[in-house]
Amino acid sequence: MSAELDVGLVVAGYGRHYVVETPEGRRIICHPRGKKSDCVVGDRVRWQPTGDEGVIEHVEPRRNLLFRQDEWKTKSFAANLDQILVMVAAEPVFSESQLARALMAAESAGIPARILLNKADLPQIEAARERLKPYSAMGYDVREVALKARPAESRAALFSLLQGQATLVLGPSGTGKSTLINLLAPDARAQVGEISQALNSGKHTTTSTQWYWLDDTRSTGLIDSPGFQEFGLRQISAQDLPRLMPDLAGPSQQCRFYNCTHLHEPGCGVRAALEAGDVNESRYRIYSELFAELSAPTRY
């Protein structure tokens, strides 16, 4: 039955309202069938028209899904991604814990991630570079831009990085995500305005995930997500943490005990690497904090 229905791409979600784009580029407001709503931006869905709107009947299987999970709820960002761009900035000072959590969620979902350092024109850039050195050393691609100070140069560098990909932009408020979106997708405000008008609501535009096309052929997609202050990783077990941290993965294989927590056991490869300076102290601290958090019993 569902194979006979129209296929569309979910390009925005506002509560139980979704915007579905047809292969021809038309955008229609759709609602899921029934009470449960499990669509996210990036989903391919089967839908059928009902008057001026549509009903989503079926979500096609996903390649991947990026989400965060705390004790109380799961928050999905987007599905079927080619890469994730985690934004940080020279100012305000970024939380290394939040950066590490976003990268680990991407690793857990099997989605390649890059780090984008904005505001490279500010004097604080040197301190930010220093804090990102361990991430470059463990193989993450770290790029620098100055979106406001050098817009043309930044736009050219970014477009080559994003071309032909579906990219989710992640990052806390204040890093320049809105500047990035408006620089690369000049009609972004117009697209959000059209959707808000169709929904008779303007209040959700900064708190919802939104897909933008960066080219006329609709082959390069950029997905903006709400800024976050917390990034829960309850979907990951404490024992799985080293596997998702590239700098700890190798040393953790050298432990004397197979169930080593890397906190106090003798013959621990991770602590030996820490003492030798091969594992960064702040990274080990993040591991220790996450291990405690994910080992704690869930409160209901």
Domain residue ranges in the chain: 2-59, 65-224, 238-295
Q: What is the pLDDT of residue 3?
A: 62
Give every CB contact of residue 102 below 8 A, 6+ residues apart in sequence.
84, 86, 113, 170, 171, 231
Q: What is the pLDDT of residue 299?
A: 62
Q: What are phi and psi of 182, to 5 degrees?
A: -70, -25
**Is 269 labelled a binding residue?**
no
Q: How much is the average pLDDT of 104-117?
A: 97
**Is 204 labelled a binding residue?**
no
**Is 178 labelled a binding residue?**
yes
**Is 262 labelled a binding residue?**
yes
Q: Please tell me which residue, 81 or 231, carries the higher pLDDT value.
A: 81
**Is 118 labelled a binding residue?**
yes
**Is 110 labelled a binding residue?**
no
Torsion angle, alpha carbons of 168, 172, 174, 178, to 10? 20
Domain 65-224: homologous superfamily in CATH: P-loop containing nucleotide triphosphate hydrolases (3.40.50.300)
Q: What is the pLDDT of residue 189?
A: 64
**Is 255 labelled a binding residue?**
yes
Q: Answer yes or no: are the C-beta atoms of 41 and 210 closer than 8 Å.
A: yes
**Is 250 labelled a binding residue?**
no
Q: What is the pLDDT of residue 298?
A: 67
**Is 75 labelled a binding residue?**
no
Give the lowest-confidence range in 172-186, 203-217, 243-257. Answer: 203-217
**Is 80 labelled a binding residue?**
no
**Is 221 labelled a binding residue?**
no
Indicate the pLDDT class of residue 203, thresholds 50, 70 and 90.
very low
Q: How much is the average pLDDT of 277-296?
A: 96
Domain 238-295: homologous superfamily in CATH: Probable gtpase engc; domain 3 (1.10.40.50)
**Is 225 labelled a binding residue?**
no
Tally of CB atoms within 10 A around 4: 7
**Neighbouring-strand partners of residue 210:** 12, 224
Indicate the pLDDT class of residue 208, thresholds 50, 70 and 90.
confident
Tally of CB atoms within 10 A around 63: 15
Where do runs of H (alpha helix) occur along the chain?
A: 96-109, 125-137, 151-162, 177-184, 188-199, 246-252, 269-275, 281-295
Any idea what DSSP says for residue 114? E
The average confidence (pLDDT) of the chain is 90
Q: Say whether pLDDT at 113 is over 60.
A: yes
**Cis, peptide link before residue 112, omega less than 30° from 0:** no
Q: What is the pLDDT of residue 197?
A: 61
Q: How many Cα neighbours within 13 Å face the side chain of 95?
A: 14
Give every CB contact of residue 166 below 8 A, 6+ residues apart in sequence.
42, 80, 81, 82, 83, 221, 223
**Is 39 labelled a binding residue?**
no
Q: What is the pLDDT of residue 54?
A: 95
Q: How much is the average pLDDT of 124-130?
A: 97
Its CATH architecture, for the domain 2-59, is Beta Barrel (2.40)
Q: What is the pLDDT of residue 204?
A: 40
Quote the percentage of the chain above a pLDDT of 70. Answer: 92
Give the Cα-Cα-Cα angle 197, 202, 203 (nearest 5 degrees).
155
Q: What is the pLDDT of residue 100?
A: 97
**Is 58 labelled a binding residue?**
no
Q: How much is the average pLDDT of 177-196?
A: 76
**Is 176 labelled a binding residue?**
yes
Give the lowest-confidence range in 94-103, 115-124, 159-168, 222-231. Answer: 222-231
**Is 276 labelled a binding residue?**
no
Indicate the pLDDT class of residue 130, thresholds 50, 70 and 90.
very high
Q: Say whether pLDDT at 202 is over 50.
A: no
Q: Quote the CA–CA distance of 208 and 257 in Å, as a whole number.
A: 45
